[in-house]
Every structure is written in structure tokens, then in C-alpha cells.
Amino acid sequence: MKLVTYETSGDFQLGVLDENAQYVLNLSRSGLPNDMVTLIEMGPAALEKIKAAVEAAPRSAWLALTEVTLTAPIRRPRRNILCVGKNYHSHAKEFHRSGFDSSAGADEIPALPIIFSKAPTSVIGPNVAIPSYLDDTGTTDYEGELGVIIGKGGRCISKQAAMDHVFGFTIINDVTARQLQRDHKQWFIGKSIDGFCPMGPWLVTRDEITNLPDIELRTFVNDELRQKAKLADLIFDIPTIIETISRRTTLEPGDIIATGTPDGVGIGFTPPRFLKPRDTVRIEIDKLGVLHNVVG
């Protein structure tokens, strides 16, 4: 199922979409929370309650999606977004050649997952302007990525058990100020600028995604296809990422993991093609929808 957080009449609500993603049902009226992380914490029981609410709801209870404003499905994460750097072979080579790679050792292909984070204040929703004016270096870049939402938390999660800890998936744009990423010799500053993590348009529960390696990601800038790759191209797959992070750090319900971006980012061009005000960025992932943002 597709779950959303939306705003209407100044209030934020939690909803579920119909099969065609044209109508939304307010779940708080069915006794469910209006916060996505609280819902995730309820575990499988929450999904059963949502199914019951959908079956019981009259047609009049559904709002047209055009009548509401979608936000990021997890509007304000409780913890930093966990991210994996250089996780597609093609992008790892592209980034290595770009002159912006200040990762430890700057190896072309990492031997172990490179993990960093983005601040919760970087999250914005679909159709919200990316505030590139906050990057005074003028090197704002895009990175289309699959986002993994943790359901059941835990530490020392094995690869074999990792997918049992996944609640669902979303689309993330890991927007980056490249010069800050390079100059600070780490990635937090350049990636945590307010509004530099567009997310959405909704959260798709794990049961709807049956064959992850075949899922394709595409990123368009001003309708020009820049990125195209399947999840099979990941260097470190989702179970490996979850095992690596949780080996020593407890994952919690509602944690978000951005799994990395393929080649085709702005710094991969000569000269680099950084985002400019009024550019549009559209990220599509099979079965997950479309994340669209304009550059402000």
C-alpha cells in the first residue's frame, strides 16, 4: 500500500492511497496516528488496521489527491537520514574522476560501505523548491536514490534477516553542495543544508516491491534524462547496508537509509552541470512514483 503524509486546512494528516493513487483516505479518523513514525512503531498491526479502514470506508470518505498537499512521508525524521556514498560502480568511478572525492583514501571502488548522514532539517516534500540559494558556492548537485524505511528496529541484524526489518521504500534526492563536500573533507556539511533532502511522494510498503534488483531509477533535469540504473547495479545491496550499519548501531523504527546514486550527476560532466534556479528535477523509481522539485 501507499502511505502519505499530507496537509489540508493547515493540519497534517496520515493517509492511504487508493489503487490508482488518485484518492486518499484520512487514517486518523479510523483511530490511527497522524504521524508516520508512530504508525511504523505499531508494527504489522498497523497495516491490518489500515486494511480494515480501507474496507470499511465509504466512497464519500475519500479525498481527491489534488485537494491536498503532500509532504515528505516522514515529514520530520527523529534521527539523521543515514546515507551510503559511492554505492554504484559507475558513479564511484565518475565521482573518483571528478576531483570532488575527499572520502578516506579516495579509492575508486570502496571496499566497505561509506556511511554518512543528513540532518532531519534537510527534508522537504514533493513539489517544494530546493533552496539552492543557501549554497553560496553555486555547486548544488542532484542525486536520485532509493530510500529504505526501517520498520522493526534492532542491532546486529544479519543480511539474512535484514529485509524483515524493512517497513517500506520511498524516493530521495540527496542534494549536495559539491564544493562544501570537497572542502570540508567530509560530507555532512555539504549534504545537510536545509531543504537539501527532497523525499516522497509517498511511502510504499515492502510487500508491494517483490523484485528489488529489477527496479529501475531514472533522474531527469529539465526533462533531460541524466541518470538511469537498476538496483542490481548497487555495489552493496540493502541487506548488506542494514547489516553494516546495525552491527554496532541500533536501528530504530522510522529510520531512513538512502542507498546511493548512480552515475549521471552534475559533476560527472565536463564542465560540471550544477543546478540553477528554475531548473526542475524529476526522479522516477519503478513502483514508487515520481518525486518532482523545482530549484529555488
Specify the pLDDT at position 64.
97
pLDDT of amino acid 113: 95
Domain residue limits, the chain:
2-70, 81-294
Residue 203 neighbours by CB distance under 10 Å: 26
Q: What is the pLDDT of residue 85?
A: 92
Distance CA 88, CA 110 (A): 10
Please spell the DSSP secondary structure of 189-230, one letter per residue: HHH-STT-EEEEEEEEEGGG---GGG-EEEEEETTEEEEEEE
d(CA 89, CA 149): 24
Instruction: Report the pLDDT value the prediction gives residue 194, as an integer from 0 to 100.
Output: 98
Terminal CA-CA length for the chain: 32
C-alpha cell at 26: 484520512
Instruction: Please list the pLDDT of the chain residue by residue as tens digits (296 residues).
Output: 999 999 988 899 999 999 999 999 999 888 899 999 999 999 999 999 999 999 999 999 999 999 999 999 999 999 999 999 999 877 667 766 666 666 655 567 889 999 999 999 999 999 999 999 999 999 999 999 999 999 999 999 999 999 999 999 999 999 999 999 999 988 999 999 999 999 999 999 999 999 999 999 999 999 999 999 999 999 999 999 999 999 999 999 999 999 999 999 999 999 999 999 999 999 999 999 999 999 99
Q: What is the DSSP letter of 128?
A: P
pLDDT at 181: 93
CA distances from 83 to 60, 101, 145, 168, 239 (A): 41, 16, 10, 16, 14
Quote the pLDDT of residue 10: 87
User: Which pLDDT value is given to residue 89?
Assistant: 77
Q: Rounded to whole angstroms, how far apart are CA atoms 206 and 245?
A: 20
Return the CATH fold of 81-294: Fumarylacetoacetate hydrolase; domain 2 (3.90.850)
Distance (Å, rounded) from C-alpha 65 to C-alpha 146?
A: 23
CB-CB contact of 178 with 267 (8 Å): yes
Which amino acid would we find at residue 33? P
Give the pLDDT confidence of 201-247 residue by residue, as tens digits: 999 999 999 999 999 999 999 999 999 999 999 999 999 999 999 99
